[in-house]
Amino acid sequence: MHDIRFIREAPEAFDKGLADRGLSPASAEILSLDETRRARITAAETALAERNAASKQVGAAKARGDEAEFGRLRALVAAKKDEIEALKAEADEADRRLQAMLMELPNTPRPDVPVGADETENVEIRRHGTPPAFDFAPVEHFELAGVRSGMDFATAAKLSGSRFVVLSGAVARIQRALAQFMLDTHITENGLTETWTPVLVKDEAMLGTGQLPKFSEDSYQTREGWWLVPTAEVTLTNIVSGEIVDDATLPRRYVAHTQCFRSEAGSAGKDTAGMLRQHQFEKVEMVSITRPEESEAEHARMTRCAEGILEALGLAYRTIVLCTGDMGFGATRTHDLEVWLPGQDTYREISSVSVCGDFQARRMNARFRRGEGAKPEFVHTLNGSGLAVGRCLIAVLENGQRADGSVDLPEVLAPYLRGARRLTAEGTLA
């Protein structure tokens, strides 16, 4: 959520941030609601003071037998009571409208974010590795002979519908090995704290990280009112919601491996083949909670954590900065990692690492205090995939494929697969 004080002090800068995202100016309406709210509060306070003063005089007028003054004062007290209630109601309505408007506006981009309308205007900042050269025409993951028996879309459709998959045998083991490798790397090498969290959350948690109220159609809600998390960003970030965090514990760095659920609203007809875009998928998610002055460096650090996983797996990738028109709702700057997929002959997103500034912290009221007696300040929050497990499975299968439909597996996965280094064309580990 936005800082109303910043909007009061720099409405032009606020509107420019919205304009860079392709949105209309909003400061005038916001400031009008803010002025109405503050004016009604001030008027209510004045009316309350007048009522209290009149109330004190009622008894004195009665005591001296001044019935006319007594009646006038009683009528004034009653009128002021009605006036105060009306003013408070108007202030509450203005505040409700103001908060609703602030809740639905996205974060404004950092000044160094490239301005653009959509993904075509994202900016590549570096590449790592060289896409493999094949002496045959590479195929997509679901077309590989060694994968077909372990990646069943027909059974998944029978069970759940489209955009689901049943993994079994060696393919399921490889996916599990990838998740375990990511967790172990982030914990032992990158200093993140492993965390296990629920996948069902309350409205407040989704509001805190920005999935609600604007994007409810992108997620699933149960009959009981819980939401299935679209990512562990929701739970990990909300660990500090409503808290005043001990400064000595910052930065806090969490990592969790969870099932994730997305409705994929608006993606009809897109990536329907294979398991690139699913309603249910796995992610290893990173979240950092930092002091404001440390969030920029933390963003670079988290990006390197995600890049390191791809490098250890021997996968070619590129790192891009998302332009203003392609960033997520809560982000003020985002790095996307795109891994090379030979079957599609292109790079595809496998991780987004975003710094959100104090945008989520304001929604969650997550603060820290620099020392005893210091005024609480909002923390900064960051999140990033480290990585999307299913998409990483796709990348490993496609980049390691051989002409006979077998797959050479990354060396780093061998300890998790009892030494196996290959998925055979028959679908077994060897």
CATH number at residue 290: 3.30.930.10
Q: What is the pTM of this model?
A: 0.94
Same domain for 75 and 152? no
143, 294, 349, 377: the active-site residue: 349
**What CA–CA distance (Å, rounded) separates 240 from 249?**
12
349 belongs to an annotated ligand binding site: yes
**Does residue 111 belong to any structural domain of this protein?**
no
pLDDT digit of tens for each residue in the chain (430 aa)? 999 999 999 999 999 999 999 999 999 999 999 999 999 999 999 999 998 888 778 777 776 777 777 778 788 888 999 999 999 999 999 999 999 999 999 999 999 999 999 999 999 999 999 999 999 999 999 999 999 999 999 999 999 999 999 999 999 999 999 999 999 999 999 999 999 999 999 999 999 999 999 999 999 999 999 999 999 999 999 999 999 999 999 999 999 999 999 998 767 777 778 999 999 999 999 999 999 999 999 999 999 999 999 999 999 999 999 999 999 999 999 999 999 999 999 999 999 999 999 999 999 999 999 988 899 999 999 999 999 999 999 999 999 999 999 999 999 999 999 999 999 999 999 9
267 belongs to an annotated ligand binding site: no
Contacts of residue 9, defined as CB under 8 A and 6 or more positions apart, other chains included, come to: none
What pLDDT, on a 0 to 100 scale, did the predictor assign at position 267?
72
Same domain for 87 and 192? no
Residue where a domain terminates, one of 50, 76, 104 = 104
Same domain for 301 and 261? yes
7 belongs to an annotated ligand binding site: no
Same domain for 87 and 147? no
**Residue 141, domain extent:** 119-423
**Does residue 113 belong to any structural domain of this protein?**
no
Same domain for 327 and 224? yes
350 belongs to an annotated ligand binding site: yes
264 belongs to an annotated ligand binding site: yes
263 belongs to an annotated ligand binding site: yes
219, 352, 354, 406: the active-site residue: 352
Same domain for 215 and 360? yes
288 belongs to an annotated ligand binding site: no
148, 277, 291, 421: the active-site residue: 277
Same domain for 37 and 142? no
Same domain for 321 and 214? yes
Helix axes 169-188, 389-399, angle to 10 degrees: 110
Give yes or no: 349 in active site. Answer: yes
Same domain for 267 and 311? yes
Structural domains counted in the chain:
2
21 belongs to an annotated ligand binding site: no
Give yes or no: 282 in active site. Answer: no
262 belongs to an annotated ligand binding site: yes
What pLDDT, on a 0 to 100 scale, did the predictor assign at position 56?
79
173, 301, 391, 422: the active-site residue: 391
Residue 118, burial from CB neighbour count under 10 angstroms (0-12, 13-18, 19+): exposed
Say which amino acid occupies 292.
P
**Does residue 429 belong to any structural domain of this protein?**
no
61 belongs to an annotated ligand binding site: no
Tokens 């083991």 belong to which residue?
A: 173
The CA-CA-CA angle for residues 75, 79, 84, to 5°, reads 150
Same domain for 173 and 35? no
What pLDDT, on a 0 to 100 scale, did the predictor assign at position 65?
76
**Does residue 109 belong to any structural domain of this protein?**
no
168 belongs to an annotated ligand binding site: no
**Does residue 430 belong to any structural domain of this protein?**
no
Same domain for 157 and 302? yes
Residue where a domain terminates, one of 74, 104, 134 = 104
For residues 391-423, one letter each, b for 16 or more C-beta atoms within 10 angstroms of the residue's C-beta and e for the rest, the string is: bbbbbbbbbbbbeebbbebbebbeebbeebebb
Query: The CATH number of the domain where 12 resides is what?
Result: 1.10.287
173, 262, 301, 363: the active-site residue: 262
Give yes or no: 262 in active site. Answer: yes
The CA-CA-CA angle for residues 274, 278, 279, to 5°, reads 150
232 belongs to an annotated ligand binding site: yes
Q: Which two tokens stand for residue 86?
A: 């009306």
What pLDDT, on a 0 to 100 scale, did the predictor assign at position 60?
77
Residue where a domain terminates, one of 79, 104, 129 = 104
Same domain for 35 and 149? no
352 belongs to an annotated ligand binding site: yes
